Amino acid sequence: MVVTNKIKGMILKKTIILLALICGCQLAISQELFDSFDSAQDTAQNKLKSSYQMKANTNEIEANFLSSYYNQDGNNSPVTGGIGTEALTDFANVFIINVPIDSINSVSLFGGADSYTSASSDNIDSNVSSASMEDTRGYGTLSYNRKNLKRSETYGIRAGYSKEFDYQSFSTGLSYTKEWNEGNSELNFTGQAYFDKWLGKEHSTELIYPEMWLGDFLGYQKLTNPNRNSYNAQLFLSQVISKRLQIGISAEIIYMSGLLSTPFHSVYFADKEDYELDIERLPSTRLKIPFGVRLNYFPLDFLVLRSYYRYYTDDFGINAHTFEFETPLKINSSFTVSPFYRYHTQTASKYFAPKNQHLSTETYYTSDYDLAGLYAHKYGLGLKYYPTFGLLRSQPIFNTHGVFMFKYIELRSAIYKRSTDFSAFNISINLGFGFK
Amino acid sequence: MKKPALFFLCGLLFSLALSSCVSVKAYQKMYLNDSEMELSGKKIEMFETNYETYREGASGANGGKVGGGCGCN
């Protein structure tokens, strides 16, 4: 009891010291900031402060076309019980358009399609060319935003849908943003819900199981609920610290329920023969809690430092840390080169074990290496070419209507290596357009 | 769970405390308005965020998706 009180006292002391340091930093920063202004500027600023209003929508329609090629390989596919090829290629195309209706209302559309080939999914059954070998995923989200300029608030609503051969998802979401302190502080709340469903083979309601799984014959139960629902609430606070420094802090809660395992993932046991394999079994709920911090700094006119850290924890037993660092270098007014590095480490889920290490008496088991203890490095390079007046610009249409602009082009390539002998390569392109 | 929660709370207090004092005017935001200074993942990063979400047990707090799409391959 005495020891507990001492520990509590120490924690309290540390918290007080920390808060004192925070207040000190706050004073130092604000002092430095305010010292740099003379009284004449202050008067002018006070006038501006009283007349500050959040930014209204511009009359420009913005659009982006993004395309990506992704390739991965490894030898721990969960489809074949934690061994076997994970080779997969994915070609993705996304189109985003944001249309301002007037100064306060806007609509945006996010749509895309992925085309992928997966060697592991092809191993679900022995057909030489099954539906799972090559497939397409289509998705789209429509959003509507409305601003209240006087109150510096933005309200948003969105709805989306996606579908692939074995999975479909409906989603809906709400968002609220409030800015204050002349736009130097902003708080955003986003709530989203996903209503997903596992699908069976064509014209069948039965889920897709591994061909080698003997199911009922060995006394294993089939899955009865094909639904998976996810709800998430996110709070994001962004704060300007100085003319060159800003921070963003995010906290999120994600609750998932339903069928959280994958019906065609296999598990081989230590106490049974391999032909007595079962499908992956996981609890029907999962709570995920990630916290993230972004700190961006513009120390020199040609250099930006972008940093990100995330702590993650969930009730599957995974604790993870992620660090990311990017240094965009402005070669000239149009051209930016951005090398980046990311490190991720996580502990294994309590339900994970490699092939032939689970006991069949356990309630939950998986050999999916995405849930294993691992670390991963990602590094790469981004290039952006954004001339002041754009790359291409049309003549005004009929001499009166707007101008179409091809504004910028962006390329980014990344190499990803995971400690479980898994590697991936990705290259993406982003084309930015405008019409006004 | 307690440590990150404390860390988040301190960060939140720090930011809220700053919000009462720091006041950078719109005409002084030349650096802050640069697209490289955005406090979110870049659009072109969305594909990477997507596969990281699938290939790692952890996700969220970075603007990535948290549902939809099985990522089971």
Q: What angle do CA A290, A247, B13 make, to 5 degrees?
A: 75
ipTM of the assembly?
0.83
Q: How many CA atoms lie within 13 A of A48 on its CB side?
A: 16
The CB density around residue A244, as the number of other CB atoms within 10 Å, is 21
DSSP A257: E
Confidence bin at A133 (pLDDT 50/70/90): low
Closest-CA residue to A358 (of A263, A435, A281): A281
Burial of A348 per CB tally in 10 Å (0-12, 13-18, 19+): middle
Q: Is B59 on the interface with A (CB under 8 A)?
A: yes
Confidence bin at A240 (pLDDT 50/70/90): very high
| Full set of structural domains in chain A with CATH | 62-435 (2.40.160.40)
Average pLDDT over residues A277-305: 95
Chain B residues near residue A311 by CB distance under 8 angstroms: 4, 7
Backbone angles phi, psi at B14, to 5 degrees: -60, -50
pLDDT for B69 equals 54
Greatest pairwise CA separation for chain A in angstroms = 86
Condensed to tens digits (0 to 9), the pLDDT of residues A205-224 reads 788 888 888 887 888 888 88
Q: CB of A427 within 8 A of CB of A69?
A: yes
Chain B residues near residue A19 by CB distance under 8 angstroms: 10, 13
Provide the mean pLDDT of chain A. 86
Single-letter amino acid code for the residue at A272? K
Q: How far apart are CA B12 and CA B27, in angstroms?
A: 27
Q: Could you tell me the pTM of the whole model?
A: 0.84
Condensed to tens digits (0 to 9), the pLDDT of residues A142-200 reads 999 999 999 999 999 999 999 988 889 999 999 999 999 989 999 999 999 999 998 88
User: Looking at chain B, which residue has its C-alpha nearest residue A119?
Assistant: B73
Q: CB of A232 within 8 A of CB of B60?
A: yes
How would you classify the pairing of strands A61-73 and A153-164? Answer: unpaired
Residue A29 has pLDDT above 80, yes or no: no
Burial of A394 per CB tally in 10 Å (0-12, 13-18, 19+): exposed
Which H/E stretch holds residue A188? strand A185-198
Chain B residues near residue A29 by CB distance under 8 angstroms: 18, 21-22
Token representation of residue A128: 């030489």
CA distances from A276 to A222, A258, A266, A279, A353 (A): 15, 25, 10, 10, 17
Residue A28 has pLDDT above 50, yes or no: no
Average pLDDT over residues A86-94: 92
Chain A residues near residue B25 by CB distance under 8 angstroms: 45, 48, 182
Residue at token pair 């139960």: A221
Token representation of residue A90: 């994915």
Q: How far apart are CA A90 and CA A134, in angstroms?
A: 10
pLDDT for A398 equals 67
Q: CB of B46 within 8 A of CB of B61?
A: no
Strand ranges inside A30-166, DSSP E: 61-73, 88-100, 105-118, 134-148, 153-164
Chain B interface, mutation test: which of A322, A337, A341, A419, most B Cβ atoms within 10 Å?
Answer: A322
Long-range contact pairs involving A216-225 (C-beta distance under 8 Å, separation at least 24): A218/A276, A218/A278, A220/A278, A220/A279, A223/A259, A223/A261, A223/A263, A223/A279, A225/A258, A225/A259, A225/A284
Asked if B36 and A416 come within 8 Å (Cβ–Cβ), the reply is no
Condensed to tens digits (0 to 9), the pLDDT of residues B11-54 reads 666 666 665 567 888 889 999 999 999 998 999 999 999 899 88
Asked if A316 and B45 come within 8 Å (Cβ–Cβ), the reply is no
Residue A30 has pLDDT above 50, yes or no: no
Q: Can you count the helices (H) and strands (E) in chain A?
A: 3, 20
pLDDT for B8 equals 64
Residue A95 β-bridge partners:
A65, A111
Confidence bin at A24 (pLDDT 50/70/90): very low
Token representation of residue A88: 């997969």
Q: How many CA atoms lie within 13 A of A162 on its CB side?
A: 26
Residues 30-49 of B with CB under 8 A from A: 30-32, 34-40, 42-48
> Nearest by CB to B73, which of A48, A121, A338?
A121
Token representation of residue A77: 């596919």
For A136-175, the DSSP string reads EEEEEEEEEEEEETTTTEEEEEEEEEEEETTEEEEEEEEE
